[in-house]
């Protein structure tokens, strides 16, 4: 399990924007986007040059799985945020 801090910045019906803190440079934050038609994109160098899934994308996927699991248990997103269930937020 990857525990890199993740935060949802903005979302629309088509696109979700996340911020993911860098592990190697803690003062740096990468932007990860999920586009419903095209998948995940990351602003990190690894993704930019290699075009493979990076650890920031993996962290976002784990974050979303955690969030989906809590919502399936009847929690609303606002309740989840209030009770700080998501431990790896930026």
| Mean pLDDT (whole number) for 7-14 | 88
Residue 29 has pLDDT above 90, yes or no: yes
Residues 54 and 41: their CA atoms lie apart, in Å, by 9
Q: Extract the tokens encoding 72.
A: 């399936």
What pLDDT shows up at residue 22? 87
Q: Give residue 32's pLDDT band: very low, low, confident or very high (50, 70, 90).
A: very high
pLDDT tens for each residue of 33-88: 999 899 999 999 999 999 899 999 999 999 888 877 766 666 665 665 555 444 45
List alpha helices for the chain, DSSP H. 45-50, 55-72, 77-83
**C-alpha–C-alpha distance, residues 73 and 55, integer Å:** 27
């Amino acid at each position: 399990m990857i525990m890199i801090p993740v935060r949802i910045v903005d979302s629309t019906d088509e696109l979700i924007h996340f911020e993911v803190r860098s592990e190697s440079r803690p003062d740096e934050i990468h932007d990860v986007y999920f586009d419903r038609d095209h998948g995940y994109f990351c602003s990190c160098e690894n993704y930019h040059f290699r075009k493979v899934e990076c650890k920031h994308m993996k962290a976002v996927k784990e974050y979303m799985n955690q969030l989906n699991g809590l919502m399936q248990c009847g929690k609303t997103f606002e309740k989840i945020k209030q009770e700080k269930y998501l431990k790896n937020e930026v």
